[in-house]
Amino acid sequence: MIKAVLFDLFNTIVLITEKEENYYPRCLRKLYDFLVENGVEVSFEEFSRVYFEVRNKLYAETSENFEEPHFNVRVSLTLKKLGYEYEVSDRLVAEASMEFAEEFMRYVALDNNAINVLSKLRRKYKLGLITNFAISECVWKLLEKFGLKKFFDVIVISAEVNRRKPSPEIFKKALKALNVNASEAVFIGDTIGLDVKGAKNVGIKSVLVKRRPIKEMDVEPDRIVNNLKELPVVLEEFKD
């Protein structure tokens, strides 16, 4: 019997409304402008070059070890490489990350059916959220902004637990908090690699929310939906 429904956040419950190549430079620019206002003297070109060097190195590491260092880590590392000794724990670093986050939030919208579907499902299942994001404060702000917090019995953000999907640990944390077994849970997400694969690895069934054409599936979800509205009926079909 299904007792818990776990959700991904981005492009599952909330939608990113712009392409990354459009919003990312704007977010980075806001972060940069903030640093310049606070005494950092470097061109945007040089700053971007070092930032992406640092970010890409971190991405390479985290794709191997499934860790999720907070965004503050890359800001501090970038500043150090540019000759500014700011630690991860420094206020300026945290504030710079939030500048990035505030801009990013402008490109996030709530799925039209999310509230309705979550309200419905909450009457029947325990609900959880498992999201990868390096600025955990930004996730909390988005949940607050869209009134989503109240629906979830557990919220696991990768940057808070230093583990990202598809690592088994992040899924197990949510199961444990909800006090359910993997076989009693279903994961709802929009990516094969992070959501479907991650869930399957720990024995959680999955539903793929199809937000874009699927190129290839090396792991098959148990169900595919095109719209969150389909979930209440689709979840009824899971029998164990």
Give me the residues that bind Mg ion (CB under 5 A), please: 8, 10-11, 190
Q: Which residue number, 72 or 191, has a Cβ lying nearer to Mg ion?
A: 191
Instruction: Tell me the closest approach of the beta carbon of residue 146 to Mg ion, in angstroms.
Output: 15
Closest CA to 16 of 144, 95, 103: 103
Q: How far apart are CA 74 and CA 47, in angstroms?
A: 12
Q: Which residue number, 179 or 227, has a Cβ lying nearer to Mg ion?
A: 227
Closest CA to 154 of 124, 135, 133, 178: 178
Q: Which residue number, 8 or 68, has a Cβ lying nearer to Mg ion?
A: 8
What count of residues does the chain have? 240
Instruction: Tell me the closest approach of the beta carbon of residue 77 to Mg ion, in angstroms.
Output: 26
How many CA within 13 A on the CB side of residue 98? Answer: 9
Instruction: Tell me the closest approach of the beta carbon of residue 10 to Mg ion, in angstroms.
Output: 4
φ, ψ (nearest 5 deg) of residue 8 = -80, 160
Q: Which residue number, 10 or 140, has a Cβ lying nearer to Mg ion?
A: 10
Instruction: Tell me the closest approach of the beta carbon of residue 148 to Mg ion, in angstroms.
Output: 14
CA 172 to chain centre: 17
